[in-house]
């Protein structure tokens, strides 16, 4: 079981503002990092899978970076919209085990 920390636990952001949050994970035995978005009353939905140190992925207004040497990833949302309100989960893959170990998530609320 990997130790995964996400911060902050919750975040209120004004519509139109940009924001970011962090996922920390053990840097040893690292294989990949997954980001998921989980909207209320829906299923978790995959955003990114990242593997290489310095990797950056982008999907619309959402982007993520990865530092495997120090064991962290940032998720950025530019120009937040109400539909971005969700819990954002990260899950490192590694340690020789099947399946993913999820963090507690960052609960993002966009205020109009």
Partner 1 sequence: ETGVTQTPRHLVMGMTNKKSLKCEQHLGHNAMYWYKQSAKKPLELMFVYNFKEQTENNSVPSRFSPECPNSSHLFLHLHTLQPEDSALYLCASSQESRGLNTQYFGPGTRLTVL
Given the rule CB under 8 A, which residues bind partner 1? Answer: 1, 4, 31-32, 34, 42-46, 49, 51, 89, 93, 97-105
| Closest CB 17 distance from partner 1, rounded Å | 27
| Closest CB 43 distance from partner 1, rounded Å | 4
SS3 69: coil
Residue placing its CB nearer to partner 1 in the complex, 13 or 100: 100
Residue placing its CB nearer to partner 1 in the complex, 63 or 101: 101
d(CA 51, CA 71): 12
Nearest to 81 by CA among 7, 13, 6, 4: 13
| Closest CB 45 distance from partner 1, rounded Å | 8
Burial of 26 (0-12, 13-18, 19+ CB in 10 A): middle
């Amino acid at each position: 079981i990997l130790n995964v920390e996400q911060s902050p636990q919750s975040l209120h952001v004004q519509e139109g503002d940009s924001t970011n949050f962090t996922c920390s994970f053990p840097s040893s035995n690292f294989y990949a990092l997954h980001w998921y978005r989980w909207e209320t009353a829906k299923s978790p939905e995959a955003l990114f899978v990242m593997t290489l140190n310095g990797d950056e992925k982008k999907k619309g207004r959402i982007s993520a970076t990865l530092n495997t040497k120090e064991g962290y990833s940032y998720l950025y949302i530019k120009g937040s919209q109400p539909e971005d309100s969700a819990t954002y989960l990260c899950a490192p893959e590694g340690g020789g085990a099947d399946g993913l170990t999820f963090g507690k998530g960052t609960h993002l609320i966009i205020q109009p």
